[in-house]
Structure 1
Amino acid sequence: MGYSQFFNRDLSWVEFNARILHEGCKKSNPLLERLGFLAIVSTNFAEFFQVRVASLKRLAKTTNDAKDISGFTTDEIIKKINERSHEIIKNQCEEFNNQILPELSEHGLVYVKPKDFTDQQKAFSLNFFQNEIFPLLTPLRIEPNNFPHISGKNSNVIFKLKQIPGIHSDFLNSDFQKLSGEKKDVTKNNLFALIQIPQNEDKIIWFPSANSDDDEENEDDFPRRTTAKKYFTTLDDIILTYGTKLFPGFDEEKSMIFSIDRDADSGVDEDSGSHYIEAMEETLAGRDSSFAVRMLCTDGEENEELRELIAKNQELSEDDIYKINGPVHLEDFREISSRADKELFFNPWKNYYPTEINAKDNIFKSLKESDIVLNFPYESFDPVIKFISDAADDPKVLAIKITLYRTGKRSEIIKALMRAAKSGKQVTAFVEIKARFDEQRNITWVKQLEKSGVIVIYGIVNLKVHSKAALVVRRENDGIKRYVHLSTGNYNADTAKIYSDISLFTSKSEIANDITMFFNLVSGYSILQSMNTIFMAPINLKTRLLKMIEREIENSTPENPGLIVAKMNSLGHEEIIQMLYRASQAGVKVLLNVRGICQLVPGVKGLSENIKVISIVGRYLEHSRIFYFKNSGEEELYLSSADWMPRNLDRRVELMFPITDKQAFKTIKTTLMNFFDDDTNSHELQADGKWVPKENEGGFSAQQNLHDFYKRKDNPSKKDAKQEFEIRRTERKF
């Protein structure tokens, strides 16, 4: 059987969600964690359709038969995306209905649908609707030439109404005509109306318990111990059940919950100059009214008329309609976590404060000694916050420079930067306004930073600043000293608890010189000077990668084959893939750990039989980028903010930096290699595009092994504590 040389980028991303769903179906995972994986599938698909599918739909209007590197036209890609996505979402609904809900009930968390309400539950839900929800809602009638705007952010209920017998129709006709200016008989016409479901209200509504103490919120008890069954319904269900009370004189004939995913890929004019922030805010506002990409709606043949009405108005095809047998937004069910038993979650893993850094002393004392590498979330993110906070409060610090991409809702780093600027320090923040779905938050931070006196640079025209770097300039007894922090992940304390990332602290002059040059380059004008240790996209990072792969090809022999090992989020750069194919053909062994998109086709004789691709999906999201090259025994190891994708290597400002400290090198290399021995959370990519899961219950887990290592490192006093990783001596087959 012949194989294409490339998988399609977007179909590969869809398959990543299938791997997440697989984790949600694994009985070995705790129940609430399985629910969490199912919810991630929903949120991933929402963003995917808003960005990638929207982009493809716009492209389809301008191209005819042009094919991508996988050999598909745009229309073919869209069709295949919908086919596979429908299948995955159907499986997701079946898992939720047939497995998750019954098991939740067994553990005392019982979802009650309106048709199953007891008399007491009916009374409570009606009272709740009338007193808490009714005042928030606005009824919107649908007229042939006046269809109400449907926001891309909200769920909605659409009703087909019928007149209640006995109500005097002349009054209704007269009233309707006054409002619409049209002569219509409401007793003979199809009448439709919308209610928008409030976005910021709790989506899970708990029924009162027999024990009043169970209803009291106590955050200190989280996760709460379930001592009796707790019954709940959803806000959507309550509005669906009682929403017709907003239409006096009418009753429900049909009703349906639905939501619309809209295009969120529209950009901003980057030549807007001083009005760039205003232009971005206008773009964000426009997302709510951009063209529709997909509709999610409750399933059922009785709703066909309602689906057709919405789809026609929103110009959606049958393929664009996703009929959900269950909650339209399954992610809303994550709210039940607050009332769940501990046993329904993963056993908590502590993130350990690194022994190399004294939490009580000024951090710069520790950083003078040697390079320090941190591995999140196994190790605490606190030293990164401390680095910026100590710099803000240290009178010897003169300047701070930092890149900010995604920072979180309540950022201690942002507060420290503002504090530093107010104290008179020179503070420069490179804030990437174009960080997808974090634009509004970053705009808010920009305004606060500027108000505090921070020099804010919004980025570079037509390039996203995706690199993660901080520079602190400090006056010491022997002169000016510079301290650098570089990372594979964002300055975000929230994601640092669930994303795996690696960062480097160093005061080495060669790296400090390069980072100083980097900040000067992205903030001003510069005749490009080559950096000595750090590589930067889109200038020379890709070139360096290609040269290192070429070097492995040249040095590889049958007796001593070359070796490339790389870990990243996505792989889709044609030049890089072609060079990896050349490496495979030259006998170089290539091990790739790719979390999401992978367009490279492994295991094809004569092309890629020496390439192995795995993907790890576990309790932590694998986000670090690590690149290893054997180099005939003169090994090189790099960390980077960049994936091997066109956007990262050609259209973003990214950094790749070396690990030269011997102990750090050893630890990171072992971390990288252990992923290829994982046989519990690993999937291996086949030449036909299928991902085959490895499910050895009780087997080797790379994430568990990392946790155990840092746990031992944190408590070396135990006699049996080992400061080395366990290395699996398994044979890696190609």
Structure 2
Amino acid sequence: MEEIILTHENYINRELSFMEFNQRVLEEARDLSNPLFERLKFASIVTSNLEEFYMIRYGSLSDQIAAGLKKTDPSGLTPKEQTRAIDDRTRKLLADLYKTFNEELIPAARSVQFRILHREELKPEQLSYLNQLYEDSIFPVLTPMVIDSSRPFPLIMNNTLNIALHLLDSEGRAFLGTVQVPSVLDRFYRIPGGKARQFILLEDIIKLHLSNLFDAYQIQDLVCYKVTRNADLEYDEDDAQDLLMVIKETLKQRKWGRVLKLEVEHTISDDLLNMLIDRFEIEMSNVFRLDGPLDLTFLSKIANLPGHEGLKFESIQSMPVPEITLAQDIFKAIAKQDILIHHPYESFDSVIQLVRTSAKDPNVLAIKMTLYRVSGNSPIVEALAEAAENGKQVTVLVELKARFDEENNINWALRLEKAGCHVIYGIVGLKTHCKALLIIRRENNKIQRYVHLGTGNYNDVTARLYTDIGLLTIRQELGEDISNMFNRLSGQTLIKTLNKVSMAPDYMRERFSELIRNEARHARQGKKARIIAKMNSLVDKEIIQELYKASRDGVEIDLIVRGICCLRPNVKGLSENIRVRSLVGRFLEHSRIFYFYDNGKDNYYISSADWMERNLNKRIELLIPVEDKKCKEKLRELLSITMSDTAKSRILLSDGTYRRVEPKGQPFNSQEAFIELSRKRFEKFKKKLNKEGVQDEDQSM
């Protein structure tokens, strides 16, 4: 059959695909079926997503432009063409976001007696209260600055909120003034009085008093502004004698990277805007006038205020994992059967319990673990430290290069080293992104390996917000594979063969290609052929090409891709058998699950990797087969329920846009279904255990 060549026309631009994902998040802020405070959170997420995107992805494109690179990406766009397209799409996204904020979210908040007041709405007694608050708590922290020949323009920190002023002195000369809105203070304050809960933003309190702060000048104009800087850090690992110190120093660069985006209030005068453009050496195409408060991430803090439970999702209780919780011995429970855990519907506490129990168990000899992103007060880290203090051999790979978690991970690495753990920082040139825990235990004078492998981080906070899969097992071949992996990470041991696991960057790409081609071969033979793949992002050109070939051979392919998807589905003669859906809902879909029919064998895998070049070529990742019959059935049910969602799913169209799934009857929300399913499963298991316990007692009598 004719070879498929990946052309510009059948590859969706990665950056614009991300912008479409952020548009889907914005749709959740507009969705009236979501409680009001949850809609505020989604609006906040749109803002934070966009900021990180500009700092990293846009920053990388900016570096390419500065270096004079004009090479096109797989979609046929040069770096300059991509930044222009991103700026245009960002302008539309921000316009939609602030229209949603002003015309939907603010009126909805007022209807439930929750108001953010503007300065002109304040009553005399409220002004008096704010004057006192300003004098006591805000004024001492402020640093007003006027730029002149003796006072140069200060370093405006990345993503900080500031107020710019157009000032005239007594002789009519124009000056630029600036004052940072202190990030160490709360962004909003409650104002007493009235039936409604009333708040005012910190910047508006400061604006009320700027005439006193700059009393030697006449204020012509004042507005808030914010800059986003290039934070795409680079460091040379090959020449780094101490990676810890190199990353510490490199982190400082984020403060003064080149300005990529300037956001200002839409009321800004041309004179003041030109002053800022001149100071930041930025083009007009990178200036965004916003009709409302800058940096809407504060909305998530409002949404997390105590009370207002009727304006939030009903809180869920992550169900205990019955096989573990109802067992007297966690090691016996895992030895009895493989256990598949579905977070956040089933609790992450079982993983924490395993590490804590291992730290205290006298028969546990060693613990090995990878840490990519952990919480700020991690019980996992504390348990590992306790294990080392108890004399166990503890080896922890802490990935210092986990973006925006570098500083947190450095602190944890030092804490673990102090406790006596052997801390390693991975392999030069590669990020260690896999999620693996290995426990070595002495049982009956033999060594037993207990293994936990997951799709998500060992983070007790995100485990309540992200959907992920974890597998607990004592399967000998998996245990040997994970031992070999840790030996490679700690000692650069060459791995010639692995029993069951596929590892990136060594062999995972080839394994995925084999699995896809195997289905294509079955299809050409007239047999049933089926692929279902769930992941965060699909970008890799070679994998996309393999999927196009398989589709043309007749393989039925369903892809569940939450975020970026560069594959173009439903193109005649190319991808007619490929369907792509994205699910954006209450929980962030984070699990990576892969299913291949394989002529009726029903092969299931879980992985830490997306189908992206960085995962397959530049990271340590794992692809793990799930072989236990009950665990496979659980994954089959998970994929079936997810693909049945008609409440939060969107279908990717061949033009790169998405449309909502049209429900037939009552919309079906898969995430809500999983909440109920986990509850029923726990109760069923509990009843079964109680019944078996009664039978055992009867037999013993």
What interval of TM-score do these two structures reach, taking the shorter chain for normalisation?
A: over 0.9
1:270 and 2:237 correspond: yes
The answer to whether the 8 A contact 1:204-1:335 is kept is no
The answer to whether the 8 A contact 1:397-1:474 is kept is yes
Q: Give 1:189's match in structure 2, choosing from 159, 173, 187.
A: 173
1:647 and 2:614 correspond: yes
The answer to whether the 8 A contact 2:322-2:686 is kept is no
Distance 1:561 1:189 in 2: 79
1:290 and 2:257 correspond: yes
Distance 1:150 1:244 in 2: 22
Q: Give 2:125's match in structure 1, choosing from 95, 120, 127.
A: 120
Distance 1:243 1:532 in 2: 69
Distance 2:54 2:8 in 1: 28
Shift of 1:557: 4.7
Q: Which amino acid aligns with 1:58?
A: D
Q: Give 1:632's match in structure 2, choosing from 593, 599, 606.
A: 599
Shift of 1:192: 1.8
The answer to whether the 8 A contact 2:398-2:426 is kept is yes
1:71 and 2:37 correspond: no
Q: Could you say which residue in structure 1 is the equivalent of 2:51?
A: 46
Structure 2 matches for 1:606-625, cutoff 5 A?
606-625=573-592
Q: Could you say which residue in structure 1 is the equivalent of 2:114?
A: 109
Q: Which amino acid aligns with 2:323?
A: E
SS where residue 336 of structure 2 aligns?
A: coil
The answer to whether the 8 A contact 1:3-1:687 is kept is no
SS where residue 99 of structure 2 aligns?
A: helix
Q: Give 1:712's match in structure 2, choosing from 652, 669, 680.
A: 680
Q: Which amino acid aligns with 1:162?
A: L
Q: Which amino acid aligns with 1:627?
A: F
Q: Give 2:469's match in structure 1, choosing from 502, 508, 522.
A: 502
Shift of 1:529: 1.7
The answer to whether the 8 A contact 2:26-2:97 is kept is yes
Distance 1:475 1:66 in 2: 57
Q: Could you say which residue in structure 1 is the equivalent of 2:301?
A: 335
Deviations 1:620-658 (A, max 9, x none): 000000000000111110000000000000001100101
Q: Give 1:434's match in structure 2, choosing from 401, 405, 419.
A: 401
Shift of 1:295: 1.2
Q: Could you say which residue in structure 2 is the equivalent of 1:20?
A: 25
Structure 2 matches for 1:417-432, cutoff 5 A?
417-432=384-399
SS where residue 356 of structure 1 aligns?
A: helix
Shift of 1:668: 0.6
Distance 2:641 2:306 in 1: 36
Q: Which amino acid aligns with 1:75?
A: K
Q: Once structures 1 and 2 are overlaid, which stretch shifts more, 451-460 or 622-631?
A: 451-460
Shift of 1:252: 2.2
Distance 2:454 2:527 in 1: 33
Q: Give 1:410's match in structure 2, choosing from 377, 384, 387.
A: 377
Distance 1:516 1:719 in 2: 38
Q: Could you say which residue in structure 2 is the equivalent of 1:220?
A: none
Deviations 1:306-339 (A, max 9, x none): 2222222212111211211111011112222315
Shift of 1:362: 4.0
The answer to whether the 8 A contact 1:156-1:197 is kept is yes
Q: Which amino acid aligns with 1:148?
A: P
Distance 1:481 1:627 in 2: 29
Q: Give 1:310's match in structure 2, choosing from 272, 276, 296.
A: 276
Shift of 1:714: 1.9
Quick one: percent identity of the two aligned structures?
A: 37
Q: TM-score, normalised by structure 2?
A: 0.94
Distance 1:691 1:676 in 2: 16
Distance 2:243 2:477 in 1: 36
SS where residue 297 of structure 2 aligns?
A: helix
The answer to whether the 8 A contact 2:168-2:175 is kept is yes
Q: Which amino acid aligns with 2:487?
A: N
1:477 and 2:411 correspond: no
Q: Which amino acid aligns with 1:160?
A: H
Change in Cα spacing, 1:549 to 1:447, as seen in structure 2 (3 Å) is same
Structure 2 matches for 1:540-579, cutoff 5 A?
540-557=507-524, 560-579=527-546
Deviations 1:376-435 (A, max 9, x none): 000000001111111111111110000000001000000011111111110000000000
Distance 1:712 1:333 in 2: 35
Q: Which amino acid aligns with 1:294?
A: K
Q: Could you say which residue in structure 2 is the equivalent of 1:160?
A: 166
Change in Cα spacing, 1:717 to 1:395, as seen in structure 2 (3 Å) is closer
Q: Once structures 1 and 2 are overlaid, which stretch shifts more, 508-517 or 521-530?
A: 521-530
Distance 1:73 1:328 in 2: 31
SS where residue 461 of structure 1 aligns?
A: coil
The answer to whether the 8 A contact 1:240-1:257 is kept is no
The answer to whether the 8 A contact 1:104-1:110 is kept is yes
The answer to whether the 8 A contact 1:141-1:148 is kept is no
The answer to whether the 8 A contact 1:268-1:283 is kept is yes
1:378 and 2:345 correspond: yes
Deviations 1:446-478 (A, max 9, x none): 111111111111121110000000100011124
Structure 2 matches for 1:128-207, cutoff 5 A?
128-143=133-148, 146-163=152-169, 186-207=170-191
Q: Could you say which residue in structure 2 is the equivalent of 1:92?
A: 97
The answer to whether the 8 A contact 2:176-2:275 is kept is no
Q: Could you say which residue in structure 1 is the equivalent of 2:362?
A: 395
SS where residue 206 of structure 1 aligns?
A: strand
Distance 2:338 2:370 in 1: 21
Q: Once structures 1 and 2 are overlaid, which stretch shifts more, 57-66 or 260-269?
A: 57-66
Distance 1:323 1:131 in 2: 33
The answer to whether the 8 A contact 1:460-1:522 is kept is yes
The answer to whether the 8 A contact 1:681-1:695 is kept is no
Q: Could you say which residue in structure 2 is the equivalent of 1:170?
A: none
Shift of 1:513: 0.4
Distance 2:327 2:209 in 1: 58
Distance 2:89 2:174 in 1: 36
Distance 1:78 1:191 in 2: 32
The answer to whether the 8 A contact 2:343-2:463 is kept is yes
Q: Could you say which residue in structure 2 is the equivalent of 1:346?
A: 313
SS where residue 472 of structure 2 aligns?
A: strand
Shift of 1:90: 0.6
Distance 1:525 1:17 in 2: 40
Q: Which amino acid aligns with 2:21?
A: F
Gaps of 5+ in 1: 164-185, 211-227, 721-734
Distance 1:520 1:88 in 2: 47
Distance 2:278 2:61 in 1: 20
Q: Give 1:580's match in structure 2, choosing from 547, 551, 555.
A: 547
Q: Once structures 1 and 2 are overlaid, which stretch shifts more, 57-66 or 577-586?
A: 57-66
Q: Could you say which residue in structure 2 is the equivalent of 1:453?
A: 420
The answer to whether the 8 A contact 2:363-2:443 is kept is yes
Q: Which amino acid aligns with 2:252?
A: A
The answer to whether the 8 A contact 1:158-1:192 is kept is yes
SS where residue 546 of structure 1 aligns?
A: helix
Change in Cα spacing, 1:718 to 1:398, as seen in structure 2 (3 Å) is closer
Q: Once structures 1 and 2 are overlaid, which stretch shifts more, 604-613 or 257-266?
A: 257-266
The alignment covers a number of residue pairs equal to: 679
Q: TM-score, normalised by structure 1?
A: 0.90
The answer to whether the 8 A contact 2:371-2:399 is kept is yes
Deviations 1:26-79 (A, max 9, x none): 111111111111110000000000000000011112245321110111111111
Gaps of 5+ in 2: 1-6, 689-701
The answer to whether the 8 A contact 2:8-2:76 is kept is no
Change in Cα spacing, 1:279 to 1:704, as seen in structure 2 (3 Å) is same
Q: Which amino acid aligns with 2:333?
A: S
